[in-house]
Structure 1
Amino acid sequence: MDVLADALLGGATPEEIERHELPGEYLAAHLRAEDIHMFGGAEDKDVRKSLHVGPVPMPEIAPDEVVVAVMASSINYNTVWSAMFEPLPTFTFLKKYAREGGFATRHDRPYQVVGSDAAGVVVKTGAGVRRWRTGDHVVVSCVQVDDQEAATHGDGMLGVGQRAWGFETNFGGLAHYAVVRASQLLDKPAHLTWEEAASTMLTAVTSYRMLVSDKGARIKQGDIVLIWGAAGGLGSFAVQMVKNAGGIPVGVVGSERKAQLLRKLGCDVVIDRREIGVDDGAPGPEETIERGKRLGRAIRAAVGEDPHVVFDYVGRATFGISVFVVRRGGTVVTCGSSTGYQHTYDNRYLWMNLKRIVGSHGANLQEQSECNRLFRLGLLTPVLSAVHPLADVGEAARTVQLNRHVGKVGVLCMAPEGGLGVTDPELRARIGAQNLNPLRELPAEAAV
């Protein structure tokens, strides 16, 4: 720990924090540019081999940026992609970003600090920052936008300058400190611990835009929503949002253990994908229709109708089934393709039944704020199942890589232990700690 970190953990006031200089280097989980070919020909691209934890230099900050002392972060699948150097090395993004010149050139380094979630304390603000002060407790959005670009003011996700922080930029959240734009900050929910708050932003706001926003499926009372991968981070938040909206979530999972989890979250219908013959492979046209029929029968047997909306981030293995099974006039909303990007579906079932496919990515700042408010009110709860120290970030990412986790996997960064950071214990007591951590009784399976 450096002097500033010691002061923070000792309860320093904002005035005391400001008297300390930023350290010259800090501890961070990072990738090395020299390793980008290390998995050439390897069948198992084990991210424990490519993720390093060690000191990196502290960068200069731009006028519209802040430095956050990161108390906790979490693992998202984009960190797994980065550490596998797939579908292409993220150092490619950093070089492209650096060509913009100015402060962007800092991002092209022989290392990349990864991580797209964080909760912590503002310790330094740039000269152009107006709405945030030293000592503020914040959560960090992964969405970085260019506020001087016209499209950003219509919808930040449509701007060419929109990037995923810690994936398409450097200086991410799996570290003791992170450099972020002021427009990435939101108030930390005061009743949550650091690790709980750090596990919500990327996945929850993505699910919010997909389901609730007018940019997504716009779910309403009574909607039946089929949720693939419902025990993961995206899916666990999707289940909560459908329930909050008065809808009927139908979760698809791959094991009885994950089915138990969904029932704890209040999922109305849980379907084991093995029972309908779905695996991670790409089914052919006839098999896609047959699997879709089996799934449709299972859904109708449980709720009497076909789904209004399908929530799909699985991709190639499920997308054709999603298009087939959603009802006439229904919507398939997608934000990813963990089993492959090339999708095949029978277009007759799309056009003749007037269905829609909606692409969704991240969330704009207004959507993020609306979603974060739901956490602050206690209407959404974190879905942490495990928490690792920063030193074990490789193991944490490996668990996600192998899909051996449920909900979200957290990482303690500067925080010395879990359970810290709560500044509204009364609200926490009213909600009940057991209701804030419904998944912690189901630990993640060991990574191998």
Structure 2
Amino acid sequence: MSQLTEALLNGAPAEEIERAALPGDFTAAHLRVEDVDTFRGVEDKDVRKSLRVGRVPMPEPAPDEVVVAVMASAINYNTVWSAMFEPIPTFRFLKQYAKTGGWARRHDLPYQVVGSDGAGVIVRVGSGVRRWRAGDHVTISPVHVDDQEPATHADGMLGAEQRAWGFETNFGGLAEYTVVRASQLIPKPPHLTWEEAACNPLCAGTAYRMLVGERGARLKQGDVVLIWGAAGGLGGYAVQFVKNGGGIPVGIVGSERKAEVVRRLGCDVVISREEFGLADDPSGDPDEVIAAGKRLGRLIRERVGRDADIVFEHVGRATFGISVFVVSRGGVVVTCGSSTGYHHVYDNRYLWMKLKRVIGSHAANLQEQVECSRLIESGRVVPTMSAVYPLAEAAEATRQVQTNRHVGKVAVLCMAPETGLGVTDAATRARIGEDRLNPLRGLTPGPQPA
């Protein structure tokens, strides 16, 4: 064990952390540029064949960046896309970013460290960083913005140079160390373990912006919210935000096992895909889209009394046409992704003649991330972690997400040697309770490190 690792695990003060030498390299889950054709002509693009875990060099931090020792990370679907090299190899993103010049050139490498979630300890700060110091416990926002771009000052998500860390940049979170901008840092909720904290930023922040933030659907008390994929990483947080905000969550799930998941999170109404006969992808048959929408609409009205005011949409092609049909007159479909396909087909008559709206949403700006984190700190929103893998098995953890065998979020221990570490506010943790903090723990197959 290195001097720095020992200092971190022992909770050493800032001075000791700063004195300990950074390693020249570290272990990380990464992709190699020579593997981009691995899945050419292959139907099952098994990410375990492309996602490697091995040593990579330590990057030099820019003046506005910090080096974080990543105690834990989590799997998101963008890592699945990266590891399948779809829709395009993410090495193209690294080259595009490098063309902006300066410190960005470091990112164009023959390997990419992936991962867009993380929690850990700052070990170095750049000369331009003022609000953070070595030893601070942080979670990391996945949003990498250019603070010299005018649009960023209106909303960090509107800048043309906004990127997803660990997907459109290098040096992601599935690693022992990462380099991130100071504008990505959020104080870690002190009552959470490293693995619990690491599961929150991307999915919780995205769901918060979609439903609660002023640029999203603007959820209000009493709103009926239809949530596709309610047992997934995004859906599990959406259920909580709706419930916490006085709305009525209606969760769509694919199995009774997943129905139990969303009930644990407080979902008022749970509807299985089988109940309204939803095919895997009905989008190619306009008549079936409308028919499925009518069946789903009847179920919602039977169980809630009226149509959904908001549809929380991230599935994409297979569900988007139904979402537009089923949302109420004057209602909102808010969308942040398209895991089943990007090209959506819907009947525009139901959009324009019933004065419905579609809002595109992507991740969350730093203020929204901080507001979201405050809810987590208060215990009103809890992590949706269902399994924990060691970094050595990051590819297997990603495969769980790729094949949809998971619920909620799958965490990955990076520098933390075991689960349960990182809690600095035991009193708040005891007040909230272990069962409340881990409603989904153990529901996804996989190793549970001691």
- TM-score, normalised relative to structure 2: 0.98
User: What is the CA–CA distance in structure 2 between the aligned matches of 1:215 and 1:133, rounded to whole Å?
Assistant: 32
Does the 8 A contact of 2:224 with 2:247 survive in 1?
Answer: yes
User: What is the CA–CA distance in structure 2 between the aligned matches of 1:278 and 1:93, rounded to whole Å?
Assistant: 36
Greater Cα shift, 11-20 or 172-181: 11-20
Which structure 2 residues correspond to residues 78-227 of structure 1 after superposition, within 5 A? 78-227=78-227
SS in 2 for 1:16: helix
How far off its partner does 1:398 sit?
0.2
Structure 1's 214 and 314: CA in aligned 2 closer, same or farther, altered over 3 A? same
Give the structure 1 partner of residue 375 of structure 2: 374
SS in 2 for 1:221: coil
How far off its partner does 1:279 sit?
3.4
Does the 8 A contact of 2:66 with 2:181 survive in 1?
Answer: yes
Letter in 2 for 1:442: L
User: What is the CA–CA distance in structure 2 between the aligned matches of 1:443 and 1:395, rounded to whole Å?
Assistant: 12
User: What is the CA–CA distance in structure 2 between the aligned matches of 1:279 and 1:210, rounded to whole Å?
Assistant: 26
Give the structure 2 partner of residue 75 of structure 1: 75
Letter in 2 for 1:183: S
Letter in 2 for 1:390: L
User: What is the CA–CA distance in structure 2 between the aligned matches of 1:349 and 1:11, rounded to whole Å?
Assistant: 58
How far off its partner does 1:7 sit?
2.2
Percent pairwise identity: 71
Does the 8 A contact of 1:332 with 1:357 survive in 2?
Answer: yes
How far off its partner does 1:64 sit?
0.1
Letter in 2 for 1:255: S
User: What is the CA–CA distance in structure 2 between the aligned matches of 1:80 and 1:355, rounded to whole Å?
Assistant: 33
Letter in 2 for 1:353: K
Give the structure 1 partner of residue 357 of structure 2: 356
User: What is the CA–CA distance in structure 1 between the aligned matches of 2:188 and 2:329, rounded to whole Å?
Assistant: 41
Q: Deviations over 1:56-89 (max 9, x none)?
A: 0001110000000000000000000000000000
Does the 8 A contact of 1:278 with 1:317 survive in 2?
Answer: no
Letter in 1 for 2:93: F
C-alpha RMSD of matched pairs (Å):
1.0
Which structure 2 residues correspond to residues 325-404 of structure 1 after superposition, within 5 A? 325-404=326-405
User: What is the CA–CA distance in structure 1 between the aligned matches of 2:137 and 2:378, rounded to whole Å?
Assistant: 17
Q: Deviations over 1:326-369 (max 9, x none)?
A: 00000000000000000000000000000000000001111111
Q: Deviations over 1:276-334 (max 9, x none)?
A: 12233243100000000000011011011000000010000000000000000000000
Greater Cα shift, 5-14 or 134-143: 5-14
Give the structure 2 partner of residue 11 of structure 1: 11
User: What is the CA–CA distance in structure 1 between the aligned matches of 2:137 and 2:366, rounded to whole Å?
Assistant: 18
User: What is the CA–CA distance in structure 1 between the aligned matches of 2:54 and 2:162, rounded to whole Å?
Assistant: 29
Letter in 1 for 2:369: Q
Does the 8 A contact of 1:280 with 1:339 survive in 2?
Answer: no
How far off its partner does 1:264 sit?
1.0
How far off its partner does 1:441 sit?
4.2
Give the structure 1 partner of residue 413 of structure 2: 412
How far off its partner does 1:20 sit?
1.2
User: What is the CA–CA distance in structure 2 between the aligned matches of 1:426 and 1:7, rounded to whole Å?
Assistant: 25
Q: Deviations over 1:241-291 (max 9, x none)?
A: 000110000000000000011111110000001221223324310000000
Letter in 2 for 1:92: R
How far off its partner does 1:172 sit?
0.5
Structure 2: segments with no counterpart, 5+ residues: none
Q: Deviations over 1:388-436 (max 9, x none)?
A: 0000001100000001100000000000000000000000000001100
Aligned pair count? 446
How far off its partner does 1:191 sit?
0.2
User: What is the CA–CA distance in structure 1 between the aligned matches of 2:220 and 2:95, rounded to whole Å?
Assistant: 43
Give the structure 1 partner of residue 280 of structure 2: 280
How far off its partner does 1:133 sit?
0.4
Give the structure 1 partner of residue 34 of structure 2: 34
SS in 2 for 1:48: helix
1:315 aligns with 2:323: no
Q: Deviations over 1:185-216 (max 9, x none)?
A: 01000000000000000000000000001100
How far off its partner does 1:22 sit?
1.1
